[in-house]
A and B are shown apart, each in its own frame.
Chain A
Amino acid sequence: NAGVMQNPRHLVRRRGQEARLRCSPMKGHSHVYWYRQLPEEGLKFMVYLQKENIIDESGMPKERFSAEFPKEGPSILRIQQVVRGDSAAYFCASSPPRGMQTQYFGPGTRLLVL
């Protein structure tokens, strides 16, 4: 059973470009979470999605950031008009629909904004 997959692993963007990060949850998992890890800080929750629904977006910046988890395909975290402060590691986690509330993390996408 493959784990949570994220791509790309590394992404370089210039200021003003768009960054698109992908996350494929573990097989059978219908819940996806996105977290951001800034240098010297712990992980901060961004958004929690189920298929075609945003459940909790309390950690998402109000502008430029959006997330989706379509019926088919991976979850996408999109950052428009990136700025240097967006440079961070972005982690996706998934969990099964019921049960023990354990989130399994992907390897992350490291975004560098030049």
Chain B
Amino acid sequence: AQSVTQLGSHVSVSEGALVLLRCNYSSSVPPYLFWYVQYPNQGLQLLLKYTTGATLVKGINGFEAEFKKSETSFHLTKPSAHMSDAAEYFCAVSDRGANSKLTFGKGITLSVRP
């Protein structure tokens, strides 16, 4: 069975600082990997995904993530935080191939200090 670990529940950074949100997965074969963002009282918006090819994936709003098979990780980064980045971030995995369910981590709340 797949699982996703997001260490910590809350990260706080200063505006302009580096954002690093960690995600590790457990799966018998490398899965598809996703990062979603959720703003208060809203649904989830896809930030980026990795399915195949280049392991460094660029997403919306200046975010990127790197798939590292040897570390079973898919950490999310952004060079410079903006106040509007304050939200909850979820890492998720799914089986490769046909449409299948997403398995989510517990999420990390990102706060951005002025």
Contact = CB atoms under 8 A, between A and B. Distances in A.
Contact of B99 (A31, A44, A91, A108): A31
> What is the size category of the interface that chain B forms with chain A?
20 to 34
Contacts of A103: 46, 102
> What is the size category of the interface that chain A forms with chain B?
20 to 34
A101 B43 contact: no
Contacts of A108: 42-43
A41 B43 contact: no
Residue among A4, A48, A110 with max Cβ neighbours from chain B (10 Å): A48
Given A100-B49, A101-B51, A110-B41, 10 more contacts: A40-B106, A43-B90, A43-B102, A48-B101, A93-B44, A100-B51, A101-B94, A101-B99, A103-B102, A105-B43
Interface of A: 4, 6, 31, 33, 35, 40-45, 48, 56, 58-59, 91, 93, 95, 100-108, 110
